[in-house]
Amino acid sequence: MWNPEVETMSRSDLAKIQTERLQKTVARVYQNVPFYRQKFDEAGIKPEDIKSVADITKLPFTTKQDLRDNYPFNLFAAPQEEIVRVHASSGTTGKMTVVGYTKNDINTWAEVMARTLGCGEVTKKDIVQIAYGYGLFTGGLGVHYGAERVGAIVVPISGGNTKRQLQIMKDFGTTALACTPSYTLYMAEEAAENGVNIKDLPVKVGFFGAEPWSNNMRRDIEEMWNIKAIDIYGLSEIIGPGVSSECLEQDGLHVWEDHFIVEVIDPETGEVLPDGSKGELVFTCITKEALPLIRYRTRDISILNHEKCACGRTHVRMHRVMGRTDDMLIIRGVNVFPSQIESVLLEIGETEPHYQLIVDREGNLDDLEIWVEVSERLFSDEVRRLEELEAKIRREILSVLGVSARVKLVEPKTIARSEGKAKRVIDRRDVYRQE
Ligand code: DLL
């Protein structure tokens, strides 16, 4: 355990810390962020009204839309000279969600990630290969600072370059791997093609997250690699990876509650649900300085469990993410909203407004195919024109969303019509399937 004192702290001590930190954070955002001051005023809430952590339910929610409306820096609660880093992820309509960190925030991030790696018993004797993307995405650098904090040897290889990943694992003696779960499957395939027996590699534990995966997939990965596969969860808005992590019991992810208060709500009514009920995860950052979001609605669906865990940690466990309340897809690690694709198509304006996204896993890599209807006239035009238009759409999608897709222009009426909500997405990956 990285920080046994905190990780096994009594629930009553945790509640005390949470109350103090929540009060401080609420005062901070009320003071420094006009958006929150106005929101609290409208709700008739003053920072002094927060007497204990239970009063959190009096506070209004924050949404992704609020981040977008305040793009890029207007929700920051620290002066610009104290911000030392920004990260970003894609938003629903092309505008990014920008998040900021002070020096202390980076420090907090390293701490929660050190705990996360400690959940898989990583110590300074380990070699951690980080195959999450580095850059605006939080995965690479988030794990990086945690692994350095632990004192392990960090191999900051980032994503891709699969042959070299395997070579390094073997030559350097990598003992811990961090990447998306789907990338491990892809690496396994590449290894088989190159005669590398991954079971013989020195890797003993993997920290996998950033996209939904199932318990079945975990079993496959563990068996294929002969490792322990740990589910790690987080989102840029809250800090990045390091919001919660499974321990070796693999029975729910411990939320680092001295930094993040978690609630599960009914996504329709906003009502807070008790342990055991399925609903939307909501997080409040209580130690962040640059971007302490209050009651942030994640749209991720899960269940909370306050029972004591056999590992000895007292921090509440969330069930692995069971779905989303919106239509966000994660394709090769990139968050994609169908509405972003729609706006690219409308912007180009040469197709009909009927489209469908078909997501599948081809040879263990996510595959996105976009079917778009074109007019009868265009469809019967020369093949070259159709190919040009397909290429144009593909280029635009890649440049706006950062994800490559196959585009298929189809005849009018090919895509099934619906009398209700259009079925825009067919996801054959079955990522949220449990057991
Ligand atoms: O994916 C942070 C991260 C990096 C987490 C590396 C774990 C490992 P975003 O790009 O902002 O941040 O995407 C956040 O990804 O709301 C979930 O929908 C999804 N997600 C993240 N981890 C998991 C997981 C990073 N373990 C969004 N299981 C979140 C299922 C996950 N979904």
pLDDT in tens, the chain (435 residues): 999 999 999 999 999 999 999 999 999 999 999 999 999 999 999 999 999 999 999 999 999 999 999 999 999 999 999 999 999 987 656 678 999 999 999 999 999 999 999 999 999 999 999 999 999 999 999 999 999 999 999 999 999 999 999 999 999 999 999 999 989 989 999 999 999 999 999 999 999 999 999 898 899 999 999 999 999 999 999 999 999 999 999 999 999 999 999 999 999 999 999 999 999 999 999 999 999 999 999 999 999 999 999 999 999 999 999 999 998 999 988 899 998 999 899 899 999 989 999 999 887 889 999 999 999 999 998 899 999 999 999 999 999 888 999 999 999 999 988 777 778 999 998 788 765
Is 248 in the same domain as 377? no
Report whether residue 341 contacts ligand 1, using a CB cutoff of 6 Å.
no
Residue 369 CB coordination number (10 Å): 15
How far does residue 331's CA lie from ligand 1's centre (Å)?
12
How far does residue 21's CA lie from ligand 1's centre (Å)?
25
> Which one of 324, 353, 373 terminates a domain?
324
How far does residue 134's CA lie from ligand 1's centre (Å)?
15
Say what the pLDDT of residue 434 is: 63
Say what the pLDDT of residue 141 is: 98
- Which residue range is the domain that position 354 belongs to? 329-434
Report whether residue 89 contacts ligand 1, using a CB cutoff of 6 Å.
yes
Say what the pLDDT of residue 435 is: 52
Report whether residue 302 contacts ligand 1, using a CB cutoff of 6 Å.
no
Report whether residue 233 contacts ligand 1, using a CB cutoff of 6 Å.
yes
Report whether residue 210 contacts ligand 1, using a CB cutoff of 6 Å.
yes
Is 160 in the same domain as 270? yes
Burial group, residue 157, by CB count within 10 angstroms (0-12, 13-18, 19+):
buried
Instruction: For residues 303 and 324, give the distance between their C-alpha atoms in angstroms, rounded to a whole number.
Output: 13
Say what the pLDDT of residue 94 is: 61
How far does residue 63's CA lie from ligand 1's centre (Å)?
16
Nearest protein CA to atom 13 of ligand 1, as residue: 235
DSSP character string of 158-212: -S--HHHHHHHIIIII--EEEE-HHHHHHHHHHHHHTT--GGGSS--EEEEESS-
Is 123 in the same domain as 98? yes
Report whether residue 140 contacts ligand 1, using a CB cutoff of 6 Å.
no
Ligand 1: atom nearest CA of 234 is: 5
Is 237 in the same domain as 337? no
Say what the pLDDT of residue 93 is: 60
Burial group, residue 420, by CB count within 10 angstroms (0-12, 13-18, 19+):
exposed
Is 172 in the same domain as 227? yes
Say what the pLDDT of residue 423 is: 85
How far does residue 329's CA lie from ligand 1's centre (Å)?
11
At 72, which CATH number? 3.40.50.12780
* Predicted TM-score (pTM) above 0.85: yes
